[in-house]
Amino acid sequence: DGGITQSPKYLFRKEGQNVTLSCEQNLNHDAMYWYRQDPGQGLRLIYYSQIVNDFQKGDIAEGYSVSREKKESFPLTVTSAQKNPTAFYLCATRTGHEKLFFGSGTQLSVL
Amino acid sequence: QQQVKQSPQSLIVQKGGISIINCAYENTAFDYFPWYQQFPGKGPALLIAIRPDVSEKKEGRFTISFNKSAKQFSLHIMDSQPGDSATYFCAASRPSGNTPLVFGKGTRLSVIA
């Protein structure tokens, strides 16, 4: 996961609270992605961005929001509308058509 | 059309044995098929990948077999070791820039001594 920093490693959310997960990269990659991982569910795409100031919804975007103001940063906000936020969240980057690089993840839990 | 179906969901193999994980896809536009390895609490990492112009690719103990006509590909781990115990994901991608990879649901491999 060199070059991709996700923080924090663990995060706890109270009912009704919005929380933001950070993803920073120094690989100079154009595309960035957010995945959610639940046991037995594989990797589900939340949002992705191919260039700065542009992003697209993935398969499970409801209850989440993102921004891409800088090439290096792609923060994910888990809003209070996401009723089941407990999961392992993974940020990834990619340049061109092939290899996807993943960060080390953030485990989000509900208090 | 966008799905990649992976099996089995879990696998237990004796040390020194062969681990085999299978994936099937429907979209014939896919042209890149990687396998990712994930250890607990870590992000997945690219293990090996293949393009459909070859039927097999080998890197050390890891081999991808690809059957274009059947739209299937598989990962073989020879001489499986306890350190190979991890979750493995297959994926597929279309040839259009940074279009997201489509992932299988993963296989949890346990190699026991």
| Mutation target vs B (from A23, A97, A104, A109; most B CBs, 10 A cutoff) | A97
pLDDT digits (tens, 9 = 90+) for B10-66: 999 999 999 999 999 999 989 999 999 999 999 999 999 999 999 999 999 999 999
DSSP letter, residue B32: B
Tokens of B82: 């306890």
The pair of structure tokens assigned to B28 is: 């014939």
Q: Is there a contact between A75 and A61 (Cβ–Cβ < 8 Å)? A: no
Interface contact A97-B104, CB threshold 8 A: no
Tracing tokens 């491999």 back to the chain, one arrives at B109
Q: How many CB atoms lie within 10 A of CB A53?
A: 10
Tell whether the model's pLDDT for residue A89 goes beyond 80.
Answer: yes
pLDDT band at A2 (very low <50, low <70, confident <90, very high): low
Round to the nearest angstrom and report the end-to-end CA distance of chain A: 28
> For an interface test with A, which of B1, B99, B101 has the most A Cβ atoms less than 10 Å from its Cβ?
B101
CA atoms of A55 and B38, how far apart (whole Å): 26
- A94-108 tens-digit pLDDT: 977 678 999 999 999
Backbone angles phi, psi at B84, to 5 degrees: -85, -10
CB contact under 8 A, A30 and B105: no
How far apart are the C-alpha atoms of A32 and A24, rounded to whole Å?
10
